[in-house]
Amino acid sequence: MPDAHCFPVEVKNLRKTFRGPDGKPFAAIDNLSVLIPEPGAIVSLIGPDGAGKTTLLRLLAGILTPEDGEIRLFGRRPDTDDPDFVAMLGFMPQRFGLYEELSVWENFRIFGALRGIRGRALEARFRDLMTLSGLRGFESREAGKLSGGMKQKLGLSCSLLAEPKILLLDEPTVGVDPLSRRELWRILRDMRDRTGMTVLVSTAYLDEAEAADRTILISSGRLIAEGDPRELARETEGRTWLARAGDERRTLALARTLMREVRAANPRAPWLDAVPHGNAVNLLSPEDARSGASEESFRTLPEGTKLSSRTPALEDAYCALTFPRADRTDSLRILPPAYAVQEPEAVVARSISRRFGSFTAVEDTSFSVKKGEIFGLLGPNGAGKTTTFRMLCGLLPPSGGTISVAGSDLRTARSAARAKVGYVAQKFSLYAQLSARQNLEYFGACFGVAGQTLDNRIHELTTGSDLGERLQSITRELPLGAKRELALACALIHRPAILFLDEATSGADIAARRAFWRRIVGLAETGTTVIVTTHFLEEAEYCDRFLIQDAGRVLTLGTPSEVRHETGAASIEEAFISIVTQARRERANEETPS
């Protein structure tokens, strides 16, 4: 019988290897030792793409077996036939296996049966979790017809059916809007406070990780740092700075200048990280500048820039510990579009709507996107973003209204418009059985790019990146980051005038997202128009303008500065939550009988 005072999680010298695409073994978990000593703690697990986070969680859940090392959860080992181990454990993988053709209640009944919970006990738990998760009223809705955030709430609720002693969650908030993310974390904290369960949750959102009781950072299967996230953040004191433009309207221009002055773009650059935040730019100095911003750093700042110190965040510690040490830089060549848009507005939507039967997904929406602009489509899950996006791409005809793309009316000249457009889907639309190069050759052929021109274009799009070293690899065997690079390269193979990016950074680590946005800004500066959706709302700070929609209606449209000022918010995420919640409150009042 395990000791009642055993630690919630104790991992010693853990090792798990897999065979890589080249046939050679690699260690996904490499001599890892981790201890979670506090019962009832919420612990965040963070790390770059391929760090081993998912592998670690699967090992803890007993789904995988290690080659070496020992795992104990409250003193119990997952590799033994121990029914008590199964009873105390809850596990929610990245893609929770909901039965999408079944209702919310039917999913609960199945997962309850698997846990041995039936009858009145199941009904009581069902009512409780419906209230806790905010899913009341949706008991009869098919799971496949729920929004992304509601599906995640349902998956989490199913994981909580048996009130586990320890809960393992693998990136439960990927692809989930900020409102739903807050709701998911509220559910977790409420259940932790009610039952005392211990939670280990991996996440790509560093603000979530910082709100946890404890953080574990791993990279390449090894422990990099662990402890109180606020203590970890303080390790970068003396290296964190805030840069402000003399005119707040120049904040975006300042951010775009400084984001190229980082060591991932230039090994001699003065900054390790630069990212827009509110009406300023957050800067992180390299380790060799710990005593303060170096004279070189000051010299590179645009004239009129004001520099001040700021309180470090967990994101700073993460960047300091995981960013590559300038052994590889962004050296991709960025070319202007091959198709010139003559009109000042690259995309124009006039009074567009889209109905699915009696349901209106998008209602009377009008906006335009200027040539060379980075334009964002933001909104909660189920707001109508993807429907709007698909209409703009010509993938879905509007029920009403007109759309002009690159000067072509989508009603009468869809082929002409689509020839000038590049598209990166939310879910990878690559051919998994082909090599990376074969995918590029296929997409090139689809757009009439062939011969030496195609060879040159592939070279331009891949040289200097991880993808450039993996062109002969089968696409299904590529790591996630290389798949993202390949999807973007396929979309750019014909040098489109307009690039559509649907949740292109979902689940990506910070280094990948920073590199992605350096490239997008470069494309826009050469004349490519970029339209993007994202749930990383800090990425809206890179946009020239964006709109926020909910329930198929546009709630606001403007520059980042304009939208922040509209609500008095310090960040786009705060502004987003304020605007959406206010609109929902007004809508609820309209629908309530007087």
Whole-angstrom distance, CA of residue 424 vs CA of residue 444: 15
Q: Which residues lie below 8 Å from residue 203, measured CB to CB, with a gap of 6+?
A: 44, 45, 46, 171, 172, 173, 209
Q: Are 203 and 233 in contact (CB under 8 A)?
A: no
Q: How many other CB atoms sit within 10 Å of the CB of residue 106?
A: 15
CA angle 411, 417, 423 (to 5 degrees): 115
Q: How many other CB atoms sit within 10 Å of the CB of residue 67?
A: 11
Q: Output the pTM of the full model.
A: 0.89
Residue range(s) of every CATH 3.30.70 domain in the chain:
233-322
Residue 28 dihedral angles phi and psi, to the nearest 5°: -75, -35
Among the listed residues 193, 209, 168, 214, the one whose alpha carbon sits nearest the alpha carbon of residue 73? 168
Q: Which residues lie below 8 Å from residue 487, measured CB to CB, with a gap of 6+?
A: 424, 425, 428, 429, 430, 504
Whole-angstrom distance, CA of residue 68 vs CA of residue 46: 23
Residue type, 119: G
Rg for the chain (alpha carbons), in Å?
A: 25
SS3 label, residue 106: helix
For residue 375, give Cα distances in angstroms to 50, 136, 378, 399, 557.
Answer: 30, 36, 10, 23, 10
- CATH of the domain spanning 9-227: 3.40.50.300
Q: Per-residue confidence of the chain (594 residues) as pLDDT tens digits?
A: 445 468 999 999 999 999 876 678 889 999 999 999 989 999 999 999 889 999 999 999 999 999 999 999 999 999 777 888 888 998 988 876 788 899 999 999 998 888 888 889 899 989 888 888 888 888 998 988 887 778 888 888 888 888 899 999 999 888 788 888 888 898 889 989 999 999 999 999 999 999 999 999 999 999 999 999 999 999 999 999 999 998 888 899 999 999 989 988 888 888 999 999 989 999 999 986 544 455 566 667 888 899 999 999 999 999 999 986 554 556 567 888 988 788 899 999 999 999 998 889 999 999 999 999 999 999 988 888 889 988 998 889 999 999 999 989 998 888 888 889 999 987 777 898 999 999 999 999 999 999 999 999 999 898 877 788 889 999 988 877 788 889 999 999 999 999 999 888 887 889 889 989 999 999 999 999 999 998 888 899 999 999 999 999 999 999 999 999 999 998 999 999 999 999 999 988 887 665
What does the chain come to in residues? Answer: 594
Strands 306-309 and 42-46: unpaired
Q: Is 193 exposed, middle or buried (0-12, 13-18, 19+ CB in 10 A)?
A: exposed
Whole-angstrom distance, CA of residue 312 vs CA of residue 309: 9
Buried (b) or exposed (e) across 482-509, using 16+ Cβ within 10 A? Answer: bbbbbbbbbbbbbbbbbbbbbbbbbbbb
Whole-angstrom distance, CA of residue 546 vs CA of residue 550: 14
Q: Which residues lie below 8 Å from residue 37, measured CB to CB, with a gap of 6+?
A: 7, 8
Whole-angstrom distance, CA of residue 119 vs CA of residue 122: 5
- CATH of the domain spanning 233-322: 3.30.70
Among the listed residues 287, 279, 288, the one whose alpha carbon sits nearest the alpha carbon of residue 308? 279
Q: How many other CB atoms sit within 10 Å of the CB of residue 526?
A: 12
pLDDT at position 411 is 86
Look-up of token digits 């406070």 = 193
pLDDT at position 1 is 46
Strand partners, 355: 360
Q: Are 487 and 504 in contact (CB under 8 A)?
A: yes
Buried (b) or exposed (e) across 239-255, using 16+ Cβ within 10 A? Answer: bbbbbbbeeeebbbebb
Residue range(s) of every CATH 3.40.50.300 domain in the chain:
9-227
Alpha helix positions (H), 48-199: 53-60, 83-88, 104-114, 119-133, 148-159, 178-195
SS3 label, residue 112: helix
N-to-C CA span, the chain: 62
Q: Are 159 and 89 in contact (CB under 8 A)?
A: no
pLDDT at position 98 is 84
pLDDT at position 329 is 56
Buried (b) or exposed (e) across 162-188, using 16+ Cβ within 10 A? Answer: bbbbbbbbbbbbbbbbbbbbebbbebb
Q: Are 380 and 180 in contact (CB under 8 A)?
A: yes
